[in-house]
Structure 1
Amino acid sequence: MKRIMILGPCGSGKSTLALRLASLLGIAPVHLDQLAFAPGWVERSQADWLPDLQRILALDTWIIDGNDAGTMPLRLGRADTVVFLDFPPILCLWRVVKRIVANRGRTRSDMAPGCPERLDLSFLYYVATWNRGPRRRVEEKLAQANPMIVRFATPRALEDWLRSLAAG
């Protein structure tokens, strides 16, 4: 595993996994949200941040977490491994709510500067309805992909896998 994509619903732990894999494998993590957002939760034009992503993709090693549909084909074309955190939406919704409470008003390290954690009902709806739209689009793209896909349906299965990686 040298070029790793991490996908999954918001609240599944993509960024946390990226940091853990980075520590285990010695590969720098990249959080797509840091590229895609400007302060105040303003979505940057893809044309503005695509050159940065393309430079990262050209590297021999990377770990990239995030679901951006517009760049998924580019990332899939270079990834050798996709880790799909296929966790239930109710679990992810619970984790998002806990994250909002714990970090409200503060910008997390995996987010772009000036994007503090906040309560956003449309975002919560997106997380709750992940399986009805975003998940289907991710599955369609994965069906056309060549990299190894490692899928986890539970946090326990992910933890077991991480322990096996750490054990060598």
Structure 2
Amino acid sequence: MNVPSRILVYGVHGSGKSTLAQRLAERLGVPWYPVDDLLWEPGWVEVPVALQRSRIEAICRRDRWILDGAYHGWRDVPLARADLVVGLDYPRGLSFRRLLRRTMRRLATGEEICNGNRESLGSVLSRDAVLMWHLTGYGRERRRMRAWQRDPSGPPVLLFDDPAALDHWLAGLPPR
């Protein structure tokens, strides 16, 4: 089996991108670069898109990497270099339940997310809340993954609509 060394994990908010990226990194011995750490500074200050792009370009120039997302200002960068896109194309109910459960856990525990940032009741109830991003972006993200899968000029795309199928695929990957 030809093991990919540049992997983009993609999916709607709450689908498990970061969890999968961490599992792939451990299994394959490929470095994982959590995207949220590259996009958010302390105090939930968003990094300017030009700097986000520069950071992603630096990572994608490397021979080995895993990214757990790709966003509007630089989505083209990892797509141009990826050996594989793993798309988490789960049903809306599943991904929303996962996101809601994760959000409630983070609120209850004060768990740090990235660069010292934490979710708060105010952030969860705001118009920019991750729960709202899920509701408004779900269909768009699924259509995007499916279009990538149909595009013969892009990297191969594996879409998983069921966590058990993903686990089966992961079990078949060679350990590092």
- For Structure 1 versus Structure 2, the TM-score category normalised by the shorter chain is 0.7 to 0.9
- 8 Å contact kept, 2:87–2:145: no
Moved more, 122-131 or 92-101: 122-131
Which residue in the other structure is 1:159 paired with? 167
Tell me if 1:126 matches 2:128: no
Counterpart of 1:136 (choices 138, 143, 167) is: 143
Aligned to 1:103: 106
Shift of 1:90: 1.4
Q: Give the TM-score taking structure 2 as reference length.
A: 0.84
Q: Which residue of 2 aligns with 1:33?
A: 36
Residues 10 and 86 of structure 2 are in contact (CA less than 8 Å); yes or no, is this contact kept in structure 1? yes
Residue identity in the other structure for 2:117: C
Instruction: Using the TM superposition, give the Cα deviation of residue 117 of structure 1 relative to its aligned residue in structure 2, in angstroms.
Output: 2.6
Is the contact made by 2:52 and 2:74 (CA closer than 8 Å) also made in structure 1? no
Unaligned ranges ≥5, structure 2: none
**Distance in 2 of aligned mates of 1:118 and 1:97:** 13
Structure-1-length-normalised TM-score: 0.87
Moved more, 136-145 or 82-91: 136-145
> In the TM superposition, what is the alpha-carbon distance from 1:94 to its structure 2 partner?
0.8
Query: 1:102 Cα deviation (Å)?
Result: 1.6
Structure 1: gaps of 5 or more residues: none
Runs of 4 or more off by more than 6 Å in structure 1? none
| Mapped pair 1:150 → 2:152 | no
Question: CA deviation digits over 1:100-140, x for unaligned, max 9?
Answer: 222222213xxx21221335244212213433333334544
Name the residue aligned to 1:59.
62
Cα pair 1:106 1:116 within 8 Å, conserved: yes
State the secondary structure of the residue aligned to 1:5. Answer: strand
Aligned residues: 165
Whole-angstrom CA distance in 1 between matches of 2:43 and 2:131? 18
